[in-house]
Amino acid sequence: MVAASGPVRIYNAREVSVMQRFTPGRSIAAAAFCLTAWAAQAPAQDHSQYEPADIEYGRSVYLERCAVCHGEDGDSVAGVDLRSGRLRRAALDRELIQVIRNGIAGTGMLAIDLDTAEMTGIVAYLRNMTYEVDVASLGDAARGRAIFEGAGDCLSCHRLEGRGLRTGPDLTRIGSMRPLSALRRSLLDPTGTMRPIDRPVELVTADGTRVTGRRLNEDTYTVQVLDDAARLRSFDKADLREFRVIEQSPMPVYGERLDPAELADLLAYLVSLKG
């Protein structure tokens, strides 16, 4: 199944260790296969079964209901590190749900009443915390930064701490805005992860001026655009000669350009961008 398509790739030691981390207990051959799948799209052993929207919601539930004892980073209760991936009483998701629902008798961990959406979110968020620590420890943020500023050419479209262009969103705080799984998806499938509102637009005004930028808001009569010079502008749609919303992301598919170790480095760097 490994040699299904394409030339055989020789993986270096670091890539192999990355693969083994993502696919514990599997042979290298199987890991190589899974990793090809990982790079191409849906990974076997990552946390992509958790929806980014659930993870984001779960983070807000966590901060409201759990952080008071467990701390924002999940390691404030002595002997418990919620990010570690080694929860004594909650290795499986259903055990985690039991612990939250029933509490732990005789300890400060009281039963917590959450509705289904909150519970789904909190499980997704806690599992994603583990995954973030995993990737952050297996990628190298410093190398990721070099890719970001160098070969990856991200600043040709993104702002970061006041540098770079504005074709894409500002990434200065992206590590606290999006879970790792969403960041990874953005790199592997930029078009599929475009946010409906945040799309590039091209328009021509009544006097023939061409404007390109990103759509921030649109209603029946008007559209608000952040133009390429970072001016916020509003247009009456009736006055426009042309108005085009671009459906295809201009962002390259980095799963094809970077090897798995480079992707891990880049992700470790993006996760670290907390503003």
**Binding site residues, ligand HEC, CB under 6 A:** 65-66, 68-70, 77, 80, 87-90, 96, 99-100, 104, 107-110, 112, 122, 148, 152-154, 156-158, 167-169, 174, 178, 183, 186, 190, 194, 198, 200, 249-252, 254, 266, 270
CB-nearer residue toward ligand HEC: 211 or 266: 266
Block residue for tokens 């499980």: 123
From the CB of 45, what's the least distance to ligand HEC, in Å?
Answer: 21
Query: How many Å apart are CA 211 and CA 206, to the nearest integer?
Result: 11
Contact 83, 132 (CB under 8 A): yes
Block residue for tokens 């539930």: 61
CB-nearer residue toward ligand HEC: 47 or 70: 70
CB-CB neighbours of 25 under 10 Å: 8
Helix or strand or coil: residue 214? strand
User: What is the distance between the terminal CA atoms of the chain, rounded to a whole angstrom?
Assistant: 43
CB-nearer residue toward ligand HEC: 59 or 158: 158
CB-CB neighbours of 240 under 10 Å: 15
- Tell me the β-bridge partners of 233: 225
Helix (H) or strand (E) holding 174: helix 174-177
From the CB of 180, what's the least distance to ligand HEC, in Å?
Answer: 10
CB-nearer residue toward ligand HEC: 34 or 123: 123
CB-nearer residue toward ligand HEC: 32 or 133: 133
From the CB of 31, what's the least distance to ligand HEC, in Å?
Answer: 25
Query: How many Å apart are CA 242 and CA 44, to the nearest integer?
Result: 45
From the CB of 95, what's the least distance to ligand HEC, in Å?
Answer: 8
From the CB of 215, what's the least distance to ligand HEC, in Å?
Answer: 10
From the CB of 164, what's the least distance to ligand HEC, in Å?
Answer: 10
Query: How many Å apart are CA 243 and CA 215, to the nearest integer?
Result: 11
CB-nearer residue toward ligand HEC: 24 or 106: 106
Phi, psi of 200 (to 5 degrees): -65, 140
CB-CB neighbours of 180 under 10 Å: 24
